[in-house]
Amino acid sequence: MIRKIPVLPRPSAQGSPALRRVRVAAAVLVFAVALAAFIDFRDIVPNSLKHLVASVQFVPSAFTFATAFRVSAFACLAVLALTFACGRVYCSVICPLGILQDAMARISANIRRVPSYKLPYRKPRNALRYAILAITIASLAIGWGGLAIAWLDPYSNFGRIASTLLRPVAVAVNNVAASIATALEYPAAVPHGDAGLAAAGALLPPLVIFIALAIMASARGRLWCNSVCPVGTLLGLVSRRSLWRISVDNAVCVKCGDCLRACKAQCIDLRAGEIDFSRCVACCDCLSVCGEGGVKYRWHGLAGKRPATPSSKDKISAGSRSQTPANTGRRIFIATAATGALAWAAVSRDAAGADERGCADRQEHDFSKLDDPEVVAPPGGRSTARILAQCTACQLCVSACPSRVIEPAVLHYGSLMGFMKPRLDFDQSFCNINCTVCTDVCPDGALTPLTLEAKQTTRIGLAHVAHPRCIIVKDGTACGACAEHCPTAALQMKKITSHPDPLPVVDPRYCIGCGACQYACPTHPKAIVVSGIATHEKAEVLVQEQVKPTTIEDFAF
């Protein structure tokens, strides 16, 4: 009689979730701070913290590294070193757009009541991802890097989504709570917030990107990161030869498929027993679900060889066939170094020559063109050309500006190069002479940090007056609001021969283009308009004593 031995079910062990827990905790912390930096409509988050979470992002740090010698500029080198050591940890822990995609996939899974990821292995779309990276580098080389980076940089895309789409939602939720508090006779408990919607032209691009991310994350996990994002592709070139990598131990793996179903990057080829670590974002989800210990995060060294494990001859031969030739690592290193050097040289050239191009393009403004003024770039930008070349359009300055005078441009700069870049709208507010917030938080060096003294003498535009539009001339009404609110005394009420009453007159030597006069002007269309200048200048000082602070509350309309 043959006795049958019962086959016991495979134990449902929980794997090794420690690394995943650490990764999730760090990612949640980084994402919360990054999101708070952009939706902070009460200015609670310190500017130093906003700058810190933004300056450690790869692209802003790389731009700063190429144009300025600051501590934050070395964050890009730290990211490359971390990637070479441990893989694409940046994509799963530091990049807020990558973390946002994980949240989208989780929310979609809960709505559909399915596992978060149940995705089969897919071959890499190398032709697409390397083509996008090549186009990005070529754009930097020919001076179009500002446009390419603004559309493809993951951090900047997150910034626009958070600032343009999520911030108004946060304000709306706050105002609903404020209305409830007011109805309960506790109006001071939750004050109302104010964050206007962006113009339709500035609202559409982040909305399209957000919808595309939601669809791709819900259907294919990190498809955007591994097919579109040039930062992910560049870091993938480095991570494929990283020192520590997640790999399949074929001697232990039982081909159960748990790791395959947990992988958000679709990079685990279970049949071949291999992981495409150029696409792996080091989320460690596979480690936490493997109950057999068949997936391990282990040392591979410079040679990229796996540690010896007991296995059958066919497994050893299969593993040896899958090894990348040794010279491939050298080719990847050379390609990566050349990529970085080319990008650095291109950005440096653009930034160094921006002021010269701005000076060459500069021309005197025509006082008759008040209806079509030149765009005003934020202080610290030095020139409109420098903003176009270096700004990544993350819109952190837009979110952080206390006066809410900075808005994303549509076609105000005259070309697609300026699309979504910051501009000053003096019909909505003015640039406070005692404020340097935008230069304090800028992570990519497009806005050079300014001291308060330097800010107070930096000319970003010139005020032009059309006396026929002034209500003193048009309606015979006494006014002078523009002169009253000019912080530098560049605009004063003076008598001129053409009119018996004093009229506003601008002395361009002292005007800094702050826009207080334009914002204060009660006429429509405005009788005084600030037009930007191509290259920022240093204005002369007329009043030596301390400048009196000007706030929105000072305006009586």
Task: Tell me the pLDDT tens digit for each residue of 493-513.
Answer: 998 877 888 999 999 999 999
Compute the distance between CA of residue 296 and CA of residue 284 in angstroms, rounded to an integer: 9
197 band by pLDDT with thresholds 50, 70 and 90: low
Work out the pLDDT band at 380, boundaries 50, 70, 90: very high
Angle between helices 126-142 and 145-152 (to 10 degrees): 140
The confidence score (pLDDT) of residue 291 equals 86
Question: Do the beta carbons of residue 370 and residue 525 sit within 8 Å?
Answer: yes
Residue 493 pairs in a beta bridge with 504
Phi then psi dihedrals of residue 38, to 5 deg: -95, -30
Q: Is the pLDDT at 195 greater than 70, yes or no?
A: no
Q: Which of 23, 34, 234, 49 is nearest to 132 (CA)?
A: 234
Of all residues in the chain, what percent carry a pLDDT higher than 70? 80
DSSP-assigned letters across all residues of 114-154? S-S---------HHHHHHHHHHHHHHHHHT-HHHHHHHH-H
Residue 146's pLDDT is what? 75
- Candidate from 130-134, 316-320, 503-507 with smallest mean pLDDT: 316-320
Q: How many helices (H) and strands (E) does the chain have?
A: 24, 10
> 399 with 38: CB under 8 angstroms?
yes
pLDDT at 67: 75
- Of the pLDDT bands very low, low, confident and very high (cuts 50, 70, 90), residue 548 is low
State the DSSP code for 441: H
Note the pLDDT of residue 346: 45
Residues paired with 454 in a beta bridge: none
State the Cα–Cα distance between residues 15 and 259, nearest whole angstrom. Answer: 10
Angle, alpha carbons 203-418-196 (nearest 5°): 30
Q: What is the pLDDT of residue 551?
A: 60
pLDDT of residue 500: 85
What's the CATH code, domain 345-554?
A: 3.30.70.20
> Do 249 and 255 touch, CB atoms closer than 8 A?
no
pLDDT of res. 553:
57
Residue 104 DSSP symbol? H
Give the pLDDT of residue 148. 83
pLDDT band for position 350 (cuts 50, 70, 90): very low
Q: 32-36, 316-320, 370-374, 469-473: which has the minimum mean pLDDT? A: 316-320
pLDDT one-digit tens code per residue, 73-87: 889 999 999 999 999
User: Span 343-367, mean pLDDT?
Assistant: 40
For residue 371, the model assigns a pLDDT of 81
pLDDT reported for residue 349: 44
d(CA 177, CA 182): 9
Over residues 107-128, mean pLDDT = 84
Judge whether residue 552 has pLDDT over 60. Answer: no
**pLDDT value for 117:** 64
Q: Nearest CA to 436 among 463, 423, 454, 409?
A: 454
| Average pLDDT for the chain | 83
Kindly tell me the burial class for residue 40, based on how many C-beta atoms sit within 10 Å of its own C-beta (0-12, 13-18, 19 or more).
middle
Name the residue ranges covered by the structural domains of the chain.
Answer: 18-321, 345-554
The residue with greater pLDDT, 345 or 429, is 429
User: Looking at residue 319, what is its pLDDT?
Assistant: 42
Locate 493 and state its tokens.
């009420």
Residue 400 predicted with pLDDT over 80: yes
CA–CA gap between residue 255 and residue 115 (Å, rounded): 19
For residue 439, pLDDT over 90 is answered with yes
pLDDT at 196: 65
